[in-house]
Chains A and B, each alone.
Chain A
Amino acid sequence: MSRFLVERDGETRVRLSEGMELTKSRTILAAVGLVVLFLVPDITRFTGLSFTAIHRGILFGLAAVGLNLILRHTELVSFGHAAFFGVGAYGAAVLASYFDVSSGLVLLLGGVVAATTIAVLIGYFVAGYLDIYFALLTLAFNQVLYAFVLQSSYFNSSDGLSVRPDGLNPPTLFGFQWTTSGYDLILYYFTIVVLVVSLLVMWKLVNSPFGRALDAIGQNRTRARFVGIPVEKYVWIAFVISGIYGGLAGGLFALLQLHVSPDPTLYAFVSGEILFMAILGGFGTLVGPVVGGIVLVYLLIQAPFYVEYYNALTGLLLIAVVLFLPEGILGSVPKIGAELARRRRDPGMLREDVATIGTSLRRAATRAATTVRIIVFGVN
């Protein structure tokens, strides 16, 4: 076996680094995913898909990856993660509006530092709480921040702040003032690099002893404490890391949108959406939240152009995911793949599928007829 190929559990795996080994199919999937991400600008040019919508989706997906650290491993549900996304975005906007900082990377750094500070503070107060109390506390902190920004003239209330240091042009990236399309492209590729690095760091983290300890905390806090894990401290650290991801995503969002206002970044509904993204994409996977982010944001942006009652769409999608794909889009891929493979081996199963669908429809029709009979005649 070469340096990059190892034999594990009876199959050949691709070794990316110490302890990071992917099966062949996963390696191919990851490579295809990466190539598709890099080709997005070209794909959108030829297909009419929205480049900005996908870029925004990736950023929200990155925030959802951060949220997923505490959701998946410590099993804590945060309803307030927009706080870090929003603070990251506002951190960049304040530097651009009030301090004339023109470097995009410095703005991003400012956003991350601001979000980290807030995550340290909020994390300190919420780390000791569980279940609904944890969820409500995170929501409450989120709302406090939202209300504060909305009332504050420093943050320009609901009008928000521009992220254009000179009032008209975007910040510089890597020392250059780019044209509009050049800026969008460079920022996109920079986002992809940040995303890949963030995913690798997260992978390392969850597969480290610290990650295992988080799993233990998620499964049973008392036992975790009993085996010597400093539970509150670890949850606090995980919360801060999760906040850093949110801040990073928010800072990049500010650089993309070039204007930050409270509603799209800090409102509690945004927290709900980030949570939904993780679930939609598959919170049991590393990359699932990114997929969920792209799908949901794309839907939220595009739906109003096609459907009048577009707000109902996300609700219907959530219902569909919970009922039919509880493991999310990416989380369900192995299951769907296995079922398809079974049907390739035994095509007779397709007939059974058709029969099952037929039976379900017949049952549904019978139930509906019964209900109508009861409504019309009062008795069945």
Chain B
Amino acid sequence: MTTGPTAGAESGGIDRRTLLKTVGGSALAIALAGCTELLEGEQESLENADVPDEPIESGLQTFTEGAPAVLGVQARYGAETAVRRINENGGIAGRNMNLDVVEEGGAHLTNYQQFVDEGKDVTFGPISSSGHAEMVPEIEAQEVINVSTDGTVTTLYEEDFPDVTYSFRFQNHDVMEALAAVMQAVEVLGADSIDTYAGINPGYAFGQDEMDLFSKGIEQVAGAEELHSGFPDLGTDDMSTHITEINSEQPDIVFSSCWGGDATLLLEQGHANGMFDSIELLVGPVLYGSANDMSEDLVDGPIYSGSRNFYWGEPSTDRWSPAADLVDEVQSEYGVVPTAHFMSGYGAVTAWATAAEKAVQLLGRWPEQDELATVLENHGFFTPAGYHTMGADHQGYSNAHFGELTWSDEYDAAALADVNVFSAESVSPPPGEVSADWIGNW
């Protein structure tokens, strides 16, 4: 399996000239990529642009309480960090940005409507896939851009809403992480050694979508046979029946897209019931999202996790200063290690902010919602995680990360070792193609 290069990795780190050229010399883009010092005194002037004085009002809905807050709070930290960097670096075309955060709970639609009623210029979130699907028609009707932080179900933009204008998504969608899990499993065990697999996934749209894509991928690549597929409720307090089933079937691989409190529960009950003696490998695309909630004994075993589009140690922080700066900033500001969900919030804000400034440069004035939506399509931008693009299908594309779950004494938190980075092209179809068909032609 090939691993795609991250931006700058080949040259041992991105050089200043390349970065300036790529982002068009925008101070804001550089600041959000985490290299504010690069453009000292070189900012292209936006002073002549016709831009209102008042601050940009934005709203983020995310999980701030309960088990899903493991992910949601990181997304909040990420969005707040991006907004803080924007304002410290002169705002977007001179406009500062305010961010209101609200608990998404089960109120996705109401939250979005309330943000629109309040006159928000842009909205971000949610985490929930089902909430996101519920929101898309409303976003199209209200015509106020929403950049979703997560809500990653593959069918959303491929089948359910293939022709949207105002709805965007920053985070890699499910096919990217399910196929990254397939590639990782093949790399660890070898395609010939994988005969059987099983799955424990949350019982709603996201979990079913991930399991479906993983099954297609692993059957295509290794010809493996499914032995068990269980879908415990989201936020369940017991997975023992599924674990017992796996212990009796003894598949080579278990795939799990469990996240938040469910991810730690799976590891706890898996260890308690000897699941890791019955299987060769557990691959979980979002286990690492709960990194800050894991203890050292939980990460012991053949457990590999994805970290979506961002892992703080990859590329190595001594070679890629934006990631190192970000880790330091987040550690001192919030006392946690930033996970991929941090990047969900950070990247969603960055995608919109850099596109907005690009639109001002193009138009010479602040853009209308439909103009900004057009600029966001095929928009490329940097974050400390590297280079990202927003596809013509409104789906964000970034490198996908996967590595062995281990323990970092330095950060006193779960970490990933031997991280593989898969380029977006290697784990997702090109915009306009349906994932299931694409996997069939692998």
| In contact, B134 and A261 (Cβ under 8 angstroms) | yes
Secondary structure type dominating chain B contacts: helix
Residues of A within 8 A of B1 (CB): none
Interface flag for B52 (CB, 8 Å): no
Interface residues on B, range: 20 to 34
A164 engages B137 (CB within 8 Å): yes
Cβ of A160 under 8 Å from chain B: yes
Q: Does B193 contact A (CB under 8 A)?
A: no
* CB-based contact A159/B110 at 8 Å: no
Residues B106 and A159 in contact, CB atoms below 8 Å apart: no
CB neighbors of B among A16-53 (8 A): 48, 50-53
Contact across chains for A180 and B130 when beta carbons are under 8 A apart? no
Query: Are A158 and B234 in contact (CB-based, < 8 A)?
Result: yes
Residues from chain A with a CB closer than 8 A to the CB of B114 are 50, 52-53, 301-302, 305
Determine if A157 is an interface residue (Cβ-Cβ < 8 Å).
yes
Residue from the list B109, B140, B160, B161 in contact with A259, Cβ < 8 A: B109
Name B167-214 residues within 8 Å CB distance of A.
203-205
Choose among A159, A164, A257, A310 the residue with the greatest number of B CB atoms under 10 Å from its CB: A159
Contacts of A167 in B (CB 8 A): 137, 160-161
**Residues in A whose Cβ lies below 8 Å from that of B142:** 180
A21 to B142 Cα, complex, angstroms: 45
- Nearest to B119 among chain A residues (CB) is A48
Interface flag for A168 (CB, 8 Å): yes
Q: Is the CB of B204 within 8 A of A52?
A: no
Known pairs A164-B137, A168-B137; A304 contacts B102 (CB<8 A): yes
Partner among A56, A157, A258 whose Cβ is within 8 Å of the Cβ of B137: A258
Chain B residues near A301 (CB, 8 Å)?
Answer: 107, 110, 114
Q: A168-B140, A305-B102 are in contact. Are A157 and B110 (CB under 8 A)?
A: no
Task: Contact check, A180 vs B141: say whether CB atoms are below 8 A apart.
Answer: yes
In the bound complex, what is the Cα–Cα distance between A304 and B234 (angstroms)? 23
Within 8 A of A (CB), among B97-148: 100, 102-103, 105-107, 109-111, 113-114, 117-118, 129-130, 133-134, 137-138, 140-142
CA distance A322 to B114 in the complex (A): 30
Chain A residues, CB < 8 A from B233? 150, 158
Q: Are A158 and B160 in contact (CB under 8 A)?
A: no
Provide the B76-107 mask, 1 if CB < 8 A to any CB of A, else 0: 00000000000000000000000010110111
Q: Which of A48, A150, A168 has its CB near the most chain B CB atoms (within 10 A)?
A: A168
Which listed residue (B111, B130, B137) contacts A261, Cβ 8 A? B130
Which residues does chain B contribute within 8 Å of A162, judged by CB atoms?
A: 134, 137
Q: Does A264 contact B (CB under 8 A)?
A: yes
Question: Which of B100, B103, B137, B205 has the largest count of A CB atoms less than 10 A from its CB?
Answer: B137
User: What is the bound-complex CA distance between A258 and B112, given in angstroms?
Assistant: 14
Cβ of B159 to closest chain A Cβ, rounded Å: 10
Known: A158-B234, A180-B141, A180-B142. A304 touches B107 (CB 8 A): yes
| A263 touches B (CB below 8 Å) | yes
Chain B: minimal CB distance from A160 (Å): 7
A258/B102 in contact, CB under 8 A: no
A168 touches B161 (CB 8 A): yes
Per the bound structure, the CA–CA distance linking A53 and B130 in Å amounts to 22
Query: 30 interchain pairs (CB within 8 A)?
Result: A50-B113, A51-B117, A52-B113, A53-B114, A150-B233, A157-B203, A158-B203, A158-B204, A158-B234, A159-B129, A159-B205, A160-B130, A160-B134, A162-B134, A162-B137, A164-B137, A167-B137, A168-B161, A180-B142, A258-B137, A261-B106, A263-B106, A264-B107, A301-B107, A301-B110, A301-B114, A304-B105, A304-B107, A304-B111, A305-B102
Q: Contact residues of B with A, CB < 8 Å? A: 100, 102-103, 105-107, 109-111, 113-114, 117-118, 129-130, 133-134, 137-138, 140-142, 160-161, 203-205, 233-234
Using CB atoms and an 8 Å cutoff, list the residues of chain A in contact with chain B: 48, 50-53, 56, 150, 157-160, 162, 164, 167-169, 180, 257-259, 261, 263-264, 301-302, 304-305, 310
